[in-house]
Structure 1
């Protein structure tokens, strides 16, 4: 009997090398009936996902999960970030929210035209763990636009941000961490602790006092398992 195919589009939060690998959880839970295709690539924006949408179409997926946009937000938070993403993501223009929604809309439209897949669209996770910080104010604006696309195309919605937000409200800390740029030193530290010392994400998070992120950007096991549970519920709802 052929496997049921689930293609998951996105960035590093989906790829799972710098973030908790929630796809691995799903593959273990649904193996061997379902086959999960990891179509996430570190550092990508919605524009880059759109450029390689044919790869997803060629899979002939039964389900598509889209979690992309964190880098789109990051690219707008400072001039330095903008210049960085223009270079590393090979962007044809300065990114903004309108362009993000345009690219995401085209991704959805193309998938609806070229596949028979059921499509789920996720809200973007928090940036930093201070819900009042400007980075999360901006994330919420993007998520409002995402919800409009969900309604426009009658898609399944994965409320990842909402679940993370509720968790942080239930587990408040005195000085929640704000978003900080993801520098090379922090990435090297994560790789050393998780790949050399074989620490799990929770051990790493404990070093920095973070609750739902590893570095104020990427998911740890708490938030990563939330994503896995949301996708599992989406699949089981059919």
Structure 2
């Protein structure tokens, strides 16, 4: 009897390890159209190169992929898209990767970064986790975010010919009275100030989402303080169970988000539409 119980336990452990491994791989696999791959390809001189810098919202494995939406929509308009998004990154992390963006010789650059900076500023436990996992040299705060995003803009303006656009942040959650939602508004104001000061374009994603959500009801099954558990559940549902981002969003009571931090396909399409407008401006 004990032998069978141990065998069953061992089988269960193996199954859980396999599920974790598959889920982790699917959630963290780098984009196929990432800078390191694009750099090795022969550039088509008839195509305008667009590099999209960002975190998991841009990476598009645990959030509906707005870069892929853009690529599908604008395939016939003479653009090629490079996905420079990496899960969990803050503005400082994106700054460390700037050289690979420059090597892509982009015509356009969009930057959607800061959700993790804003999130880290809300809870000491989140900030400490970010410092360890993302190897940050200091505690994340808004002035450090401003410094890093400003430096990123300065380098890209100096070392590329690209037209640059900064996007304001999607909200954290959809309750505009919640501290997390308001914090993304505060960080978006910093982004807007930097865009004006650096003479680069500004794409009001936060403002558009806030307007869209004004008459929507948000009813998530758990509060923001438990957002990590909701995020991991959403990742499991998508990567292992194959549940769509939109269905996860509906289950969690959101209109644009899947959890408190990531976008469903409505939110991703809204992001893609705003970037498309920027790219088609004369």
TM range (shorter): over 0.9
- Residue correspondence of structure 1 range 133-172 to structure 2 within 5 A: 133-172=178-217
Q: Does 1:213 align with 2:257?
A: yes
Residue 175 of structure 1: how far off its partner (Å): 8.1
Say which of 69, 85, 93 aligns to 1:40.
85
TM-superposition CA deviations, 1:83-115 (whole Å, max 9, x none)? 100001100011110000000000000000000
Say which of 141, 159, 167 aligns to 1:96.
141
Say which of 181, 186, 189 aligns to 2:233.
189
Residue 180 of structure 1: how far off its partner (Å): 3.8
Greater CA drift, 200-209 or 115-124: 200-209
Unaligned runs of 5+ in 2: 1-43
Greater CA drift, 46-55 or 204-213: 204-213
Unaligned runs of 5+ in 1: none
Contact 2:52–2:109 (CA under 8 A) maintained in structure 1: yes
Contact 2:221–2:252 (CA under 8 A) maintained in structure 1: no
Higher RCO by CA contacts (8 Å cutoff, separation 6 or greater): 1
Say which of 114, 128, 134 aligns to 1:69.
114
Greater CA drift, 3-12 or 131-140: 131-140
What is the alpha-carbon distance in structure 2 between the residues aligned to residue 93 and residue 172 of structure 1? 38
What is the alpha-carbon distance in structure 2 between the residues aligned to residue 153 and residue 87 of structure 1? 31
Contact 1:127–1:178 (CA under 8 A) maintained in structure 2: no
TM-superposition CA deviations, 1:23-76 (whole Å, max 9, x none)? 111111112521111000001000000011001000000000000000001111
Contact 1:46–1:72 (CA under 8 A) maintained in structure 2: yes
Q: 1:61 to 1:174 in 2, by over 3 A?
A: closer
In structure 2, the residue matched to 1:7 is 51
Say which of 10, 25, 28 aligns to 2:72.
28
- Residue correspondence of structure 1 range 224-235 to structure 2 within 5 A: 224-235=268-279
| TM-score, reference length from structure 1 | 0.94
TM-superposition CA deviations, 1:109-139 (whole Å, max 9, x none)? 0000000000000001101111011112222
| TM-score, reference length from structure 2 | 0.80
Contact 2:220–2:253 (CA under 8 A) maintained in structure 1: no
Contact 1:75–1:81 (CA under 8 A) maintained in structure 2: yes
Contact 2:175–2:218 (CA under 8 A) maintained in structure 1: no
What is the alpha-carbon distance in structure 1 between the residues aligned to residue 278 and residue 120 of structure 2? 30
Residue 171 of structure 1: how far off its partner (Å): 2.4
In structure 2, the residue matched to 1:108 is 153
What is the alpha-carbon distance in structure 2 between the residues aligned to residue 178 and residue 194 of structure 1? 21
Contact 2:165–2:203 (CA under 8 A) maintained in structure 1: yes
What is the alpha-carbon distance in structure 2 between the residues aligned to residue 49 and residue 100 of structure 1? 11
Across the aligned residues of Structure 1 and Structure 2, the Cα RMSD in angstroms comes to: 1.8
What is the alpha-carbon distance in structure 1 between the residues aligned to residue 142 and residue 201 of structure 2? 22
Contact 2:218–2:254 (CA under 8 A) maintained in structure 1: no
In structure 2, the residue matched to 1:60 is 105
Q: Does 1:203 align with 2:251?
A: no
What is the alpha-carbon distance in structure 2 between the residues aligned to residue 156 and residue 219 of structure 1? 23
Contact 1:47–1:103 (CA under 8 A) maintained in structure 2: yes
